[in-house]
Structure 1
Amino acid sequence: MPLSAEHKQKTRQRIVDCARELFNRRGFDEVSIDEIMQRAGLTRGGFYNHFKAKEELYAEAVSAYLDFDPSQRWEGIRLDPGCGDAFGRQIVEAYLSTAHLADIEAHCPMIALPSDTARAGPHARRAYRCLVEHMASMLARGMEGEDDGARDRSLAITALCVGGMVLARTVDDPAFADEVRRAARAVALELIGSAD
């Protein structure tokens, strides 16, 4: 009896979730299809029922973060898209939070995978670009009509958030990592402006 479309979709999602966590932890090259499938509780042969190649899975794992809701994973985080420029502040607070920094498996791929993506093929790079654009557009939403520089400011805030977290994640001194994270947060919030 063939499996239902719903079962197939749930299995595919489980593979993507396991891959995203492994890629975040160790990078694209260091993770094998066998490891991903084992973590998902499946056989390697099943991989090709869902994906043509590992890079296709990688691109989908990056894209999956478009639907990530940090309030579902990190305590004390709240995102309300209907609250104007306060939404931008909420994004910055969540992105540059200690919870995000500590949760390596749920890191945004923009933090965890920039070097891997830079060396990846067009599908992964396109998924990464879409993620950057998505974050910038969410930030710009609260600034629209405020001035003509909302897009530039939202891109700068995105760069501060991602760059700040990349540096905080890679330095060997936790106190300095926290200082970097807090400094990026302060300047990003300043660029957003004060909440109404």
Structure 2
Amino acid sequence: MPYTAEHKARTRERIVMAARELFNRHGFESVSIDQIMARAKLTRGGFYNHFPSKAALYAEAVQSFTDQNPFALRLARWKRPLPEPRKLARMLVESYLSDEVLDDADLHCPLYALPSDVVRAGPEPQAAYTAVLRSMSAILRNALPDDVPDAEARVHLIVTLCVGSMIIARTTHDPALGRSIRNVARKQALALLAT
């Protein structure tokens, strides 16, 4: 008996989530299809029923961060109307730069966890990476009034502060230095949101 569309969708989602965790921890080149399928508790033979290539899976794993990140998951559980755009953007910055996110490699955003890998993986992952960047930028841009003349520059600077400080915090051997850099980035990003 053939599997239902719902079963296929759930299986595909398991593969994507397993891949995302492994790619975040080990990088694109170091993770095999066999490892991904084992992590998803599936056999390798089923991989090509869902994806034409590892690069296509990588692109989907990167793209999945748009709605499977700590901030988006928090909003999905939100029981009230969503906060106004400026508060939403502040929440994004706070969540992005939090200790919780830094300490959990499975929650790492591909913008700071995977940039070198994405460059080497090809156009599909690069397009997915760009979509994640645009999604984050859109939340920040919505927080700034239309009459702010340097709104786009502010958004780019906030993204750079968030992503750059997380790269440094993730890679430095000195936790105090990483914390200090994230605190400065948070302060400056929030100041840029205040007009």
Q: 1:97 to 1:152 in 2, by over 3 A?
A: same
Aligned partner of 2:123 in structure 1 is 122
Letter in 1 for 2:103: A
Q: State the aligned residue count.
A: 192
Per-residue deviation at 1:183? 1.2
Q: CA separation in 2, counterparts of 1:73 and 1:143?
A: 23
Q: Give unmatched runs, 5+ long, in structure 1.
A: none
Partner of 2:6: 6
Inter-CA distance 132–189: structure 2 relative to 1 (3 Å threshold): same
Q: Is the 8 A contact 2:62 2:129 kept in 1?
A: yes
Q: Which residue of 2 aligns with 1:189?
A: 190
User: 2:102 maps to what in 1?
Assistant: 101
Distance in 1 (CA, whole Å) between partners of 2:96 and 2:62 is: 16
What residue is the counterpart of 2:132 in the other structure? 131
Cα distance change of structure 1 residues 81 and 158 upon mapping to structure 2, 3 Å threshold:
farther
- The CA RMSD over aligned residues, in Å, is 2.0
Note if 1:172 corresponds to 2:173.
yes
Shift of the 65–56 alpha-carbon distance from structure 1 to 2, 3 Å rule, reads same
CA distance in 2, matches of 1:46, 1:86: 44
Q: Letter of the 2:10 partner, please give it.
A: K
| Sequence identity percentage | 47
Q: Does 1:32 align with 2:26?
A: no
Cα separation, 1, equivalents of 2:173 and 2:10: 38
Out of 11-20 and 61-70, give the one that drifted further.
61-70
Structure-2 change in CA distance of 1:142 and 1:72 (3 Å): closer
Normalising by structure 1, we get a TM-score of 0.92
Q: 1:117 to 1:81 in 2, by over 3 A?
A: farther
Report the 3-state secondary structure (helix = DSSP H, G, I; strand = E; otherwise coil) of the residue aligned with 2:35. Answer: helix
Structure 2 matches for 1:135-150, cutoff 5 A?
Answer: 135-150=136-151
Residue 81 of structure 1 deviates from its aligned partner by: 4.5
Asked if the contact 2:162/2:189 (under 8 Å) is kept, the reply is yes
Contact in 2 for aligned 1:70/1:94 (Cα 8 Å): yes
**Taking structure 1 as reference, are residues 66 and 119 closer, same or farther at Cα in structure 2, changes over 3 Å only?**
same
AA at the equivalent of 1:48: Y
- 3-state SS in 1 of match to 2:2: coil
Quick one: which amino acid aligns to residue 120 of structure 2?
Answer: R
Confirm or deny: 8 A CA contact 2:85 2:139 kept in the other structure: no
Query: Which structure 2 residue ranges, 5 or more long, are not aligned?
Result: none
Amino acid at match of 2:51: F
In the alignment, the residues of structure 2 paired with residue 158 and residue 80 of structure 1 have an alpha-carbon distance, to the nearest angstrom, of 25
What residue in structure 1 maps to residue 70 of structure 2?
70
In 2, Cα distance between equivalents of 1:149 and 1:8: 46
